[in-house]
Amino acid sequence: MSFVEYSEGEPIPALRVTLKGGIKMVESMTMTIDEAAKVLGFSAAHIRRAIKNGELKAMESGRGFRISRPDLEAYYQSLGGGKLFNSEVEK
pLDDT in tens, 48-60: 999 999 999 999 9
Per-residue pLDDT for 90 more than 50? no
Give the Cα separation of 12 and 9 in Å (integer). Answer: 9
3-state secondary structure of 60: strand
What average pLDDT score do residues 31-54 get?
A: 94
Find all residues with CB under 8 Å of 36, minimum gap 6, and list them: 47, 67, 72
Q: How confident is the model at residue 4 (pLDDT cuts 50, 70, 90)?
A: very low
69 half-sphere exposure, CB direction, 13 A CA radius: 13
Q: What is the pTM of this model?
A: 0.67
pLDDT of residue 80: 93
Q: How confident is the model at residue 16 (pLDDT cuts 50, 70, 90)?
A: low
Three-state secondary structure of 5-56: CCCCCCCCCCEEEEEECCEEEEEECEECHHHHHHHHCCCHHHHHHHHHCCCC
pLDDT of residue 77: 94
What average pLDDT score do residues 75-87 get?
A: 85
Are the beta carbons of 76 and 27 closer than 8 angstroms? Answer: no
